[in-house]
Amino acid sequence: MSRRSVRKYAPGQIADGELAILLTCGLYAPSGGGRQMPRFIVIQDEARMQKLNRVIQRLLLERQGEAETMPMLQKGIRRAQTPGYRFAHGAPTLISAVAPRGYENAMADCACALENMLLAAESLGLGACWSNQPHWLTKEPEVRYIFEEIGLNSEEDIFGSIGVGRAAENEEKRTADPRKEGRIVVDAKIKTKKNQGCNSQVNGSSYEKPSI
């Protein structure tokens, strides 16, 4: 539970051995039916990363006013308006999980793989942070072209990305926000009163936090 998203990175690339560990952890993530459908595209070339950043920033700014019901996309558009914008916060490595767009378990499988990598990065002493932008823009030709240069197939979409690097010295590890209440329900803790219909209580009165 010590993992935190890192948004400030020190100069320099991660080691090849570290990247190999991250990718191996992604390969061994659970997948629907054991089908192992996600693939991983890695960007470490600085010029390519800068090009992708410019394209993403421009495309997001063009979407202003189109995301009224999408608060996360709205937040991403506001970030794109800031000077010195870097969608991956300056991380030297970007790992994107891609899968066939028609595969019904694509998002779940890719998310599992990237979470494995986020936890592995923490264990290696690296910083990492999820990036939504390539997924939001996966259908945009300019974004696809950059990824197709590396190996994205025409039938695949980007379902998630993480930036990875070494945390900057002035990047203090944040304390986690308090966890929101009411997010856990354990069936053994619930007793349904007679004639209560769909209403139920935990331990007969109020919710009791399970010991987990």
192: confidence class by pLDDT, cuts 50, 70, 90: low
The distance of Cα 49 from the centroid of its chain, to the nearest Å, equals: 17
The rounded mean pLDDT for the chain is 89
207: confidence class by pLDDT, cuts 50, 70, 90: very low
Nearest Cα to 150, choosing from 92, 85, 111, 94? 94
What is the spatial distance between Cα 98 and Cα 80, in angstroms, rounded to a whole number?
24
Domains of the chain and CATH, by start:
16-165 (3.40.109.10), 184-212 (no CATH)
Nearest Cα to 143, choosing from 205, 45, 60? 60
Distances (CA, A) of 179 to 20, 25, 48: 33, 27, 38
User: If DSSP states are collapsed to H, E and C, what string results for 100-143?
Assistant: ECCCCCHHHHHHHHHHHHHHHHHHCCCEEEEECHHHHCCCCHHH
pLDDT digits (tens, 9 = 90+) for 22-62: 999 999 999 999 999 999 999 999 999 999 999 999 999 99
Burial annotation 91-116 (CB, 10 A radius, 16+ → b, else e): bbbbbbbbbeeebeebbbbbbbbbbb
DSSP 8-state assignment for residue 149: T
What is the spatial distance between Cα 159 and Cα 34, in angstroms, rounded to a whole number?
18
What is the spatial distance between Cα 133 and Cα 154, in angstroms, rounded to a whole number?
19
| Mean of pLDDT values over 193-207 | 45
| Mean of pLDDT values over 58-74 | 87
206: confidence class by pLDDT, cuts 50, 70, 90: very low
Residue 145 has pLDDT above 70, yes or no: yes
Q: Which residue is it, tokens 């991660």? A: 14
| Mean of pLDDT values over 131-136 | 97
pLDDT digits (tens, 9 = 90+) for 163-190: 999 999 877 777 888 999 999 999 886 7
Query: What pTM value is reported for the model?
Result: 0.86
